[in-house]
Structure 1
Amino acid sequence: MPMMPNQPRFAAPDADALPLYAVGEGALEAFRATLSGDQAAWLSATGFAAGLGELALLPAPGGGLAGAVAGLGDPLARARGRFHVAAAAARLPRGIYRLESDLNGPALDVEALGLLLSRYRFDRYRDQAPALAAFTAPLGVDSARLEALAEAEWLTRDLINTPASDMGPDALEEAVFALAARHGARAGAVRGDDLIARNFPLIHAVGRAGPQAPRLLDFTWGDTGPRLTLVGKGVCFDTGGLDIKPPNSMGLMKKDMGGAASVLGLAHVIMAQQLPLRLRVLIPAVENSIASNAFRPQDILTARNGLTVEVNNTDAEGRLVLADALALAAEEQSDLLVSMATLTGAARVAVGPGIAPFYTDDDALAGLIARGGATGADPVWRMPFHAPYEKMIEPGIADLDNAPSGGFAGSITAALFLRRFTGAARYAHFDIYGWQPSDAPACPKGGAGQGARALLGALPEALGL
């Protein structure tokens, strides 16, 4: 099954492309003065007030279409969302359009990216209505970079949206190898009982009851520059194991490989843009299933780095498979080690579905990630590695507890657990949701990347590229 990204592209420059004007409420009168008398009268007659998401079509002499106007509202309204031009552009008639606005810099990049993202359709199982409008690249943007970002997001969405019936460990491995081959990366995998022989006991324990063999996927790219290692949680479906989830919690568990999907999207941009670094991607790919050989509550497992873990909930499996992968990464000192995972419900309670909380001990790196999120329309929020909570993950009978009782600070204790496996590496962890709960501009309901653009924006300064 091919699982390559779709091809979001700007249309070729076209002298006949129709203008799509983006106008805020405060600039409406000045914009109206630039129109012909008939168009200005028409715009007034339609009641267009440049409210956020409003769209007005401009008539041409003879009854044709001369262009369109998208409302940008006021700054307060814009602060409550993102991809504002895309909100209006989704209703454009068929044609090719060029964006005309006073936007520049990161604001223009975000709106241009939104136009590309608005064309996404997940049509593997059902024909979807095609996007009618296409867009030329606005002047002043790096179109190749924006296309790579959009392609990465489309790949991430496709991977998450595909159900476990077609996106088990076998298919996730195929997607990893296809992406590696596309960019000339070197890919490999450790599968099944070889995980025991190669000392990945936690990955094996979590995935051995699944219908497809558990595995660790590993690819590398680049021969010079700083080392960046990305680790993505690839739990292709999570029943909760023997501590089985109730139906309302299991319904979205095809997205439990959202960390892997986001890491692969980020890796695509890094390779497509030829960033001068050495990249390694590690994905533990498993299904957390129920069978006679499933791992059990109160089992004590020994991780790759020798730490023992008491399993107090088989539904806290993501941190277990990540632990072995992080321990492997720590054996090769990276300049930056990053994990991404749909890890805890506690993170959603803390910040909701639209923000990706992240953890790092490095204040400078945290600032760069926050700035990257702001400029890349990728909302993130720093959370603390709160040292006093370390005792909550120490059960006494083993070195670590995978599911501390009490229910407090679940995202923090999960992050503290992961940090135990990172050695001395400079480390950041993202606890993402990977899902858009309802349709939003350029973000349809379904799988969604989170944290990747924020981290990408941080890399040049963080790694001295």
Structure 2
Amino acid sequence: MPYTFAEENADAIALHVIESDALDAWLSAQDEAVATWARLNGFSGTLGQMLAVPGDGGRIGMVLAGYGTAEKRARVHFPLAHAAAKLPEGTYRIASGLPDEAAETECLGWMLTGYRFDRYKSKSTKPHALVPPAGVDTARVEVLAEAETLIRDLVNTPTADMSPADLAAAAETLAKAHGATFDTIIGDDLLERNFPLIHTVGRASATPPRLIDMHWGEVGPSLTLVGKGVCFDTGGLNLKPAGSMSLMKKDMGGAATVLGLAQMIMALNLPVRLRVLIPAVENSVSSNSFRPGDVLASRKGLTIENNNTDAEGRLVLADALALADEDSPDLIVSMATLTGAARVAVGSDIAPFFTDHDALATALSSAARKIDDPVWRLPFHEAYESKIEPAIADLDNAPTGGFAGSITAALFLRRFVSQSRYVHFDIFAWQSTNAPARPKGGVGMGARALLEALPEMLGL
């Protein structure tokens, strides 16, 4: 992470954050040379505008960062990052203008502005450092930035280097770093241990399917995170067209996100008993691929008519959720890049979630607004239950009709959880265009909102 925090020092360049409608008042309080320079260079405080003001000896004396209007800031993530991305190399300090309530989120945006997925490149990024405003918990911000970096790196890595085995290795590295216990159930052992759906979906791959199981913490309420770890999704025998397959390295975005959230929880030493479950598979095509029309067994005993091999994520999650439910934890959260219907409903920027528990939903929604990690509640609509009940089995993994696809998928998953304190996220895990602090590629969705809400959700 080439963007870092720094201690106060004499060489730090003053960075003034200026809203458009506050510009005239700010300029009137400055030396005439500063005001004249700003006016001559057309500085207006527009969001993302950056102007370096010369100082002594040809050095930068200060930098003006446009902060726009409240209306414009509401349309973007990390508004200050829009100017920070244009700064020349150096160390900066926030001298004025940044609202206290936005300081922590904007400092996180500063850190993430430096993110680059450079695993396959030799070019390095120029360093930037920030002396943060007083009162910002820089240790916490650094934890959030590191976890977001983990999520992005995992999602961005091509499947050749992020197979189910590689995903398990990344989870094990995280577990060891924080003193967590780690276990995996691999290949045919999944059948011996009664995880038939995970085995069925992943058995056609050259890399055997597996269930990743990590435990951390000995005190406090119990929290189980379940992440979809489909490391590549061809669609199986219901093969995806090329255009739909190009981003399928990101189909383990749910797994990446729960690992990022787990890193936050462990690094911040939250008083919880944490469990992370990730069914890690590759949905491939081979002579032993599962077929449309097959009736599949599940860990819970429910039978499933498999009407589309491209609706495999809910199958592997079903076995993992059944295991999670057996321990009756205080809260279960699943995260998955599950349906295109969720994107149609809320777009690529919002993480929709489902829960029957109103207090959990309220806590999540409030936390998301506070820390700029947008979420939106969708309903477990009871009237659609019949859509997931086929004629010859207990459940249908791919109801016909095409309507309410995200809801029917969520209802399917809910059949494997017996308690009401369950939250399911249907995320995209991908930034489609370049934006400050959010370059095109993998991105975390919902993890920071969950972290912020956990104290209320679990009574910490």
> What TM bracket, shorter-length normalisation?
over 0.9
Counterpart position of 1:346: 341
Runs of 4+ in 1 over 6 A off after TM superposition: none
Contact kept? 1:239, 1:288, Cα under 8 Å: yes
Among residues 68, 73, 86, which one is paired with 1:78 in the alignment?
73
Counterpart position of 1:11: 6
Displacement of 1:108 in angstroms is: 1.2
- AA paired with 2:377? R
Counterpart position of 2:259: 264
Contact kept? 1:217, 1:284, Cα under 8 Å: yes
- AA paired with 2:289? A
Counterpart position of 2:358: 363
Deviation string, structure 1 residues 165-196 (Cα, Å, up to 9, x no partner)? 10001110110000000000001000000000
Does 2:245 match 1:250? yes
Displacement of 1:67 in angstroms is: 1.6
- 1:306 and 1:101 map into 2 onto residues whose CA distance is 61
Does 2:84 match 1:92? no
Please give the residue correspondences for 1:57-456 in structure 2 after superposition, counting only pairs within 5 Å. Answer: 57-456=52-451
Does 2:48 match 1:53? yes
Contact kept? 1:333, 1:425, Cα under 8 Å: no
Contact kept? 1:206, 1:295, Cα under 8 Å: yes
Classify 1:105/1:41 alpha carbon distance in 2 versus 1 (closer, same or farther; 3 Å): closer
Deviation string, structure 1 residues 120-157 (Cα, Å, up to 9, x no partner)? 11111113451442212321111011100000000000
- 2:154 and 2:362 map into 1 onto residues whose CA distance is 30
Displacement of 1:292 in angstroms is: 0.4
**Identity among equivalent pairs (%):** 60
- 1:40 and 1:195 map into 2 onto residues whose CA distance is 70
- AA paired with 2:400? S
- 1:278 and 1:461 map into 2 onto residues whose CA distance is 16
TM-score, L = length of structure 1 = 0.97
Displacement of 1:35 in angstroms is: 2.2
- 1:215 and 1:106 map into 2 onto residues whose CA distance is 43
- AA paired with 2:385? E
- 2:6 and 2:338 map into 1 onto residues whose CA distance is 38
Displacement of 1:360 in angstroms is: 0.6
Displacement of 1:12 in angstroms is: 3.3
Contact kept? 1:202, 1:303, Cα under 8 Å: yes
Displacement of 1:439 in angstroms is: 0.5
- 2:431 and 2:205 map into 1 onto residues whose CA distance is 27
Instruction: Give the unaligned 5+ runs of structure 2.
Output: none
Contact kept? 1:7, 1:151, Cα under 8 Å: no
Displacement of 1:103 in angstroms is: 3.2
Moved more, 304-313 or 370-379: 370-379
Moved more, 445-454 or 122-131: 122-131
- 2:153 and 2:88 map into 1 onto residues whose CA distance is 26
How well do the aligned residues superpose, as a CA RMSD in angstroms?
Answer: 1.2
Paired residue total: 460
Displacement of 1:107 in angstroms is: 1.2
Counterpart position of 1:3: none
- 2:164 and 2:155 map into 1 onto residues whose CA distance is 13
Secondary structure of 2:117's aligned partner:
coil
Displacement of 1:13 in angstroms is: 3.2
